[in-house]
Chain A
Amino acid sequence: MVLPSMSERGGSGEGYRALSMMLAGPIFYGGIGWLLDYWLHTSWLFVLGIIVGVAAGVYLVIARYGRIE
């Protein structure tokens, strides 16, 4: 079995971590938007929540991994 190099291996773990951050955004803010929609009988807060969530998730990934060390 060919082993991936050291940096690649750390990379896969970090990649899954970035993925979980990107998922957390839409799940959390989309969920809040969905609940607000449910209570307020509106329909646009869910979409807004997902957009805000994706933006926050992307921001989080950039803040963590975009720094020049």
Chain B
Amino acid sequence: MPGLIGLLIPLEWTACTADTEHEGFAPGVASFCSRPLWDGAPVEINNQLFQAVIGAVLVIGFWLWMAHGHKVVPGKRQFFGELSYNFIRNGIARDMLGHEYRKFLPYLVALFSFILVNNLFGQFFLFMFPTFSKIGYAWALALLTFVVYNGVGIHKHGFVKYLKNNTIPAGVPWWMYPLIIPLEFLSNFIIRPITLGLRLFANLFGGHLVILVFVVGGTLLLTTTEELAGKPIWLLQAAGGFSLIFSFALFALELFVSVMQAYIFTVLTAQYVATALADEH
């Protein structure tokens, strides 16, 4: 039950580790701990996995619902579905990938909608927690993109030519190669996927932490009944109220960051695929 209660009571994530020094409210890394979905459930079956699965189900359901019963003259539902689909199709896939974009469109659409839904979980009741503020979920997506762009690159060029494409830059004299080849390798195969995952994780982790500080700290100050550090109670309560009001501005900011990060992740995935497919750069 604790997991289900956690789903229903937003922001009441108390420490779930053995970290007993910071009990109760203090927001920190422990606020991101998962809790098992029911008593005695395996560690892996926790509320965060549960909400990721819900996100996937929502995404699948949305696109299935949007994809059926198309008419020549679109109704409202079909119009909205086509608008969402074309946003990725024309805005990202076709721009970045040129005439080969069709093959990668399903992956990009699924990626964008899955990240977007999971990010928005951070701003909406019932969940109040962005799934990708747990770094493991971000690594999984980055790894998937890593496999995809290297897979299509090797499939198109063959292993040796693909490696050559991505380690030997054009326009560099041969005697610079020993200096440059390790850098190109590191940049293309290690740093780019790592920063891809880190960027998604860090934006949501930081954003959620700031919201926790303002909401949880504001609540604590608003409901205080004793003086703190010599400040009168009314002042503390005023500060708490202000902090709670200001938290709505932060929620708005996080809403923007959520959309932005889903978009950036998809754009960069498309760009990595485009780089892998390019004949020479």
Contact = CB atoms under 8 A, between A and B. Distances in A.
Contacts, number: 71
B271 A28 contact: no
Interface in A1-30: 1, 3, 6, 9-10, 12-14, 16-17, 19-21, 23-25, 27-28
A13 B96 contact: yes
Interface residues of B, number: 27
A37 to B, nearest CB: 19
Contacts of B91: 3, 9
Tell me the interface secondary structure of chain A in the complex.
helix
A23 B95 contact: no
A60 B96 contact: no
Contacts of A12: 264, 267
B95 A25 contact: no
Nearest to B185: A24
Nearest to B270: A13
Contact of B183 (A3, A9, A19, A56): A56
Nearest to B184: A60
Given A21-B187, A60-B180, A63-B169, A9 B267 contact: yes
A8 to B, nearest CB: 11
A25 B264 contact: no
Interface residues of A, number: 26
A7 to B, nearest CB: 10
Contact of B169 (A1, A19, A64): A64
A24 B179 contact: no
B268 A16 contact: yes
Nearest to B92: A9
Contacts of B191: 20, 23-24, 27
B267 A60 contact: no
Interface string B85-100: 0000001100110000
A24 B183 contact: yes
B281 interface: yes
Nearest to B91: A3
A13 B92 CA distance: 11
A63 B179 CA distance: 13
Interface of A: 1, 3, 6, 9-10, 12-14, 16-17, 19-21, 23-25, 27-28, 53, 56-57, 59-60, 63-64, 67
Q: Pick the 6 closest A-B CB pairs, nearest first.
A: A13-B271, A24-B187, A24-B186, A20-B191, A24-B183, A20-B187
